[in-house]
Structure 1
């Protein structure tokens, strides 16, 4: 009888094993079905986050490049405007000497000499003017502005109206484009 019980027991054990295996397979399939979907979602989310980070980096880099282009083009324009600044500054004393020479020659009776020097002075000044040089228009009686004028000295004001104002212009000021390359030297009244 033991042989007969063994096949029945074996059949029961086999049926139990089949049920258990089916349950395990169902659980495994549930787990395997959920895990890839969850992994896909997290991978997709990670990829979206990485894409957003890369887009942000790209936009920042693009904005930096645009700012760089704008800044360099502005510097280039500024450089062209003031390219001859050193040469112009070197020529200003020569222009001042011409003005002084004209004052002294004007005191003499030789009109042809005066006219000749005046023609040379005008030609020299017009050449510099064509390159962007301009005389700053400053005269006695104007208000003193420390940002635009260089005070050489202060003297007692000859008139009450000249207190804190310009009494005399010692040396002309010049601009090149919009930039002051030499401030006018003035005497102010106190």
Structure 2
């Protein structure tokens, strides 16, 4: 009987060993499967983070391009309109010089003084023109509220159709496409 018990014990040990081996193989398979799931999950997480970083990079790159383009446009605008403030300050000087030329001169000394004022006015006009400041044409033109300021109206007639500028009271000036001062005019209505 001792031999039977030994055999039974040996069979039980073999079965236990087989069960343990089966359990170990199942456990190893489960562990490998779990590791693959974890690895796949980590890969998906890393891909999502990479996509997010690429998106942030592209947005940052686009923002830098926009800032650069805006700065370039602002710089061009500053260069184009750099004379604006000076031009506005010089326009009253031009008006005063033109008024000085309208005075009546009776002597030779006054005539030479008038000639000097004409030369100064001409030099000033050339300098303003070189900076892009030009006079707004008005006399006989159709009234445009963007560049003209109507300060008075008169009735229209056959000679002066409606919306026509009859008289310029003060010249207007513009710098490139910007109005520095609208022309003050009388318009036929």
SS in 1 for 2:102: helix
Q: CA–CA distance in 2 between the matches of 1:60 and 1:161?
A: 60
C-alpha displacement of 1:109: 4.0
Normalised by the length of structure 1, the TM-score is 0.88
| Counterparts in 2 of 1:98 and 1:158: CA distance versus 1, 3 Å | farther
1:126 aligned residue: 126
**Residues 46-105 of structure 1: CA deviation (Å, up to 9, x unaligned):** 21221111111111111111111111111112112222322221110110111111122x
| Counterparts in 2 of 1:119 and 1:160: CA distance versus 1, 3 Å | closer
Q: CA–CA distance in 2 between the matches of 1:68 and 1:163?
A: 48
C-alpha displacement of 1:5: 4.8
C-alpha displacement of 1:160: 6.0
| Counterparts in 2 of 1:131 and 1:158: CA distance versus 1, 3 Å | same
CA RMSD across the alignment: 1.9
How many residue pairs get matched?
186
2:105 aligned residue: 108
**Residues 99-129 of structure 1: CA deviation (Å, up to 9, x unaligned):** 111122xx43444333222111111222222
2:179 aligned residue: 180
C-alpha displacement of 1:131: 2.5
Q: CA–CA distance in 2 between the matches of 1:120 and 1:144?
A: 31
C-alpha displacement of 1:4: 4.5
Task: Please say if 1:135 is aligned against 2:132.
Answer: no
1:36-185 to structure 2, matched below 5 A, reads 36-104=35-103, 107-110=104-107, 111-140=111-140, 142-159=141-158, 161-185=160-184
SS in 2 for 1:53: helix
Deviating beyond 3 angstroms after TM superposition, the runs of 4 or more aligned structure 1 residues are 3-6, 158-161
Q: CA–CA distance in 2 between the matches of 1:21 and 1:157?
A: 115
| Counterparts in 2 of 1:38 and 1:50: CA distance versus 1, 3 Å | same
